[in-house]
């Protein structure tokens, strides 16, 4: 009877421990499965890319990647990693890629990414996109359509700083952005913080401005720039039209003074072009600052 009672107690303890054992095994299996899903694919690169850089497809070279840029943040692709850091590394079968500058890129998994505090400190769970420094991430802002993933760790710009870069904000103020690294759960997706047309500027105009000055613009900058361009175009057109017309009429009345009149006409044209170029510079400064 004692043996039977002892066996019953042991059986009960085993049954009680089985769910915990199964749960631990399931958790370990899920962790391993998640790790095995991380695959590093080899791509060709036209420049040396260190692990942690954010990359996008190189539109000029098929099968190649380049540093991701703020202007093309919607093209975010993945992160450069060391080939031995992923569960699986796939080398390229293209001889040109294998012979050239080859980098390995992952599009999922948890890896350390180079980031800056350009848009403030990064906390766990913050969406990460590319900053004004090509290839370097930051906490995503409301104008970026795509994010690389979400931060797992934190970066406050004070601890674990690798370097510092000088940048200009959208208001023209110069700031120092600290660069470091933070672990990111990589998974390219739509930016949940995206605010469509929050500046009152048409999307195609905003994209054009970003490609020129490297940052978004607001409505006041757009309207001032348009006014300067219209004024410059009007002044240049009126000056050239009036100068050329009066010059041609003067030549008709006094052919002997043709050389002197032509010289004056050329001066008028050059003056008009200088005014127009000055307006272009003014527009650039308005958009940049």
Q: What is the pLDDT of residues 110-159, one digit of tens each?
A: 999 999 999 899 999 999 999 989 999 999 988 888 999 999 999 998 98
- 34 found inside a domain: no
| Nearest-angstrom CA–CA distance, 252 and 235 | 26
Considering the domain architecture, whether residues 162 and 237 belong to the same structural domain is answered as: no
Helix (H) or strand (E) segment spanning residue 166:
strand 163-168
Give me the pLDDT at residue 28, please.
Answer: 35
Considering the domain architecture, whether residues 64 and 112 belong to the same structural domain is answered as: yes
Number of domains in the chain: 2
The DSSP bridge partners found for residue 147 are 189
| Nearest-angstrom CA–CA distance, 165 and 94 | 37
**Is pLDDT of 27 > 70?**
no
| Nearest-angstrom CA–CA distance, 208 and 215 | 10
- Is residue 221 within 8 A of residue 286, CB to CB? The reply is yes
Considering the domain architecture, whether residues 108 and 247 belong to the same structural domain is answered as: no
Query: Tens of pLDDT along 83-100?
Result: 888 877 777 666 655 556
**Is pLDDT of 180 > 60?**
yes
What's the whole-number mean pLDDT along residues 30-49?
69
Considering the domain architecture, whether residues 63 and 130 belong to the same structural domain is answered as: yes
| Nearest-angstrom CA–CA distance, 92 and 83 | 12
Considering the domain architecture, whether residues 50 and 104 belong to the same structural domain is answered as: yes
pTM: 0.55
Q: What does the block give as tokens for 76?
A: 């975010």
Considering the domain architecture, whether residues 182 and 227 belong to the same structural domain is answered as: no
Domain that holds residue 150: 39-194
Give me the pLDDT at residue 169, please.
Answer: 58
| Nearest-angstrom CA–CA distance, 34 and 285 | 49
The CATH number linked to 80 is 2.40.300.10
Average pLDDT, rounded, for the chain: 79
Residue 187 confidence class, pLDDT cut points 50, 70, 90: very high
The pairs formed by 268-272 with CB atoms below 8 angstroms and a separation of 24 or more are 268/239, 268/240, 268/243, 268/244, 269/240, 269/243, 269/244, 271/239, 272/235, 272/236, 272/237, 272/239, 272/240, 272/243
- 202 found inside a domain: no
The pairs formed by 53-58 with CB atoms below 8 angstroms and a separation of 24 or more are 53/79, 53/80, 53/114, 53/135, 53/136, 54/78, 54/79, 54/113, 54/114, 54/130, 54/135, 54/136, 54/137, 54/148, 55/79, 55/80, 55/103, 55/105, 55/135
Considering the domain architecture, whether residues 145 and 236 belong to the same structural domain is answered as: no
């Amino acid at each position: 009877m004692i043996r039977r009672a002892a066996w019953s107690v042991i059986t009960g303890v085993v049954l009680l421990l089985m769910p915990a054992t199964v749960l631990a095994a399931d958790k370990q299996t899920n962790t391993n499965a998640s790790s095995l899903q991380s695959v590093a694919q080899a791509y060709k690169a036209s420049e040396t890319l260190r692990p942690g850089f954010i990359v996008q497809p190189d539109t000029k070279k098929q099968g190649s990647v380049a540093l991701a840029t703020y202007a093309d943040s919607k093209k975010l692709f993945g992160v450069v990693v060391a080939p031995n850091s992923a569960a699986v590394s796939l080398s390229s079968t293209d001889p040109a890629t294998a012979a050239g500058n080859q980098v390995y890129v992952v599009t999922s998994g948890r890896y350390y990414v180079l980031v800056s505090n350009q848009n403030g400190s990064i906390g766990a769970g913050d969406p990460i996109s590319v900053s004004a420094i090509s290839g370097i991430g930051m906490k995503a802002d409301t104008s970026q359509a795509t994010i690389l993933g979400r931060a797992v760790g934190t970066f406050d710009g004070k601890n674990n700083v690798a370097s510092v870069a000088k940048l200009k904000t959208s208001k023209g103020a110069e700031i120092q952005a600290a660069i470091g690294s933070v672990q990111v759960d990589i998974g390219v997706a739509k930016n949940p913080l995206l605010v469509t047309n929050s500046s009152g500027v048409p999307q195609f105009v905003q994209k054009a401005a970003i490609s020129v000055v490297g940052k978004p613009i607001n409505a006041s900058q757009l309207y001032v720039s348009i006014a300067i361009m219209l004024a410059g175009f009007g002044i240049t057109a009126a000056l050239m039209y009036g100068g050329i017309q009066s010059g041609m009429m003067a030549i008709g009345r006094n052919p002997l003074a043709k050389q002197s009149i032509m010289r004056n006409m050329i001066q008028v044209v050059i003056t008009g072009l200088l005014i127009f170029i000055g307006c272009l510079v003014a527009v650039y400064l308005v958009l940049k600052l």
